[in-house]
Amino acid sequence: MAAGVLTLVGTKPVLAEFEIQESQVEKGEVELEYRGAYHWGLPRGGEGGGTGVIDDEEGGEVEEDGEEVPLRQSHDFEMQMGITDRWMFSTTFGTVVPEGGNWQAESVEIELQYELIERKGNGLGLAFQAGYGFATQADTANEVEFGPIVELGLGNFLLTTNTFLSDQQGEFAETEGLGFEYGWRAEYDFSKSWGIGVEMFGEIEDLANAGSFDDQEHSIGPTIFFKLGEERDEAGDYAGEARSHREDGDDDDGDNGATKAPEMEFSMNVGLQFGLTDLTSDGAVKFQGSLAF
């Protein structure tokens, strides 16, 4: 019964479960994506910012009533669709497995993304994303989130950053100010199909009461990337190339720059994240897989 009550109190998710959103938008492309993670060395919850680690064994300690439940697993299911050459719509169904609880729905999110600067190969890409998350658990606030997505391609190297501000909405909002979430990825593709990289994620739940670095959530770790169906350009660049098939001038079929039907692409990445603060789990293994067509 105690575990059931605590499950309704709320769990604390990680930034879109370790998602790095890309800036490119391709008209007509549909992408189905799964993101999941398993955490260990769980921190204690609670508004007082207490620290400690939950006992991983059965029969271990139970959180006191009213405290946030640490997150053991999370599973996100997302669908993206390019509705124009610049606009993309996406929706995400988020589920979690809190410590001592059962698999449950956490939120439903809808997002719009606008590509401001299209990156073609080397160079800069810029997009802006805004979304609204509807909480599906009792006594939990909805949340609006917005911010830029930046990409920098240099040969086989690609740097991607996501920096978002958030604001809790509704009668169950608990924060006094805006929240801040970030994620960045430095990726190097050494072949058409394989790449390695480093990713870092973090969150400040309330900028008005940010506290010290150790009172926030931050993690970092390595990631391995695998891709199928992604074409490289004539210079042999992989990570530095744009996904978009839009090109200036005539194409091979004489369509005078008309948008081509996207080819099917599969990609996945597996990585580890290591917590840098007491409020972050000691570690997590993450997986992301997507199919675009």
What pLDDT was estimated at residue 290?
A: 97
| Structure-block tokens of residue 133 | 């998350």
Average pLDDT over residues 257-274: 79
Average pLDDT over residues 149-164: 97
pLDDT > 70: percent of the chain = 75
State the pLDDT confidence band at 16, using cuts at 50, 70 and 90.
Answer: low
Q: Which residues contact 249 (CB under 8 A, 6 or more apart)?
A: 256, 257
Taking 70 as the threshold, does the pLDDT of residue 239 lie above it? no
CA gap 239, 246 in Å, rounded: 17
CA gap 77, 286 in Å, rounded: 14
Residues 26-63, buried b or exposed e (16+ Cβ, 10 A)? bbebebebebbbbbeebbbbeeebeeebbeeeeeeeeb
> Bigger pLDDT: 64 or 88?
88
What pLDDT was estimated at residue 288?
A: 96
What pLDDT was estimated at residue 67?
A: 57
Helix and strand counts by DSSP (H, E) for the chain: 1, 12
State the pLDDT confidence band at 46, using cuts at 50, 70 and 90.
Answer: very low
Q: Which residues contact 112 (CB under 8 A, 6 or more apart)?
A: 87, 88, 89, 129, 130, 131
DSSP 144-212: EEEEEEEEEEETTEEEEEEEEEEEEESTT---SS-EEEEEEEEEEESSSSEEEEEEEEEEES-GGG---
Give the homologous superfamily in CATH for domain 2-56+71-292: monomeric porin ompg (2.40.160.40)
Domain ranges (residues) in the chain? 2-56+71-292
Whether residue 44 contacts residue 55, with contact meaning beta carbons closer than 8 Å, is answered with no
What pLDDT was estimated at residue 245?
A: 40
CA gap 82, 114 in Å, rounded: 10
| Per-residue pLDDT reduced to its tens digit, 99-127 | 888 899 999 999 999 999 999 889 999 99
| Per-residue pLDDT reduced to its tens digit, 174-189 | 988 999 999 999 999 9
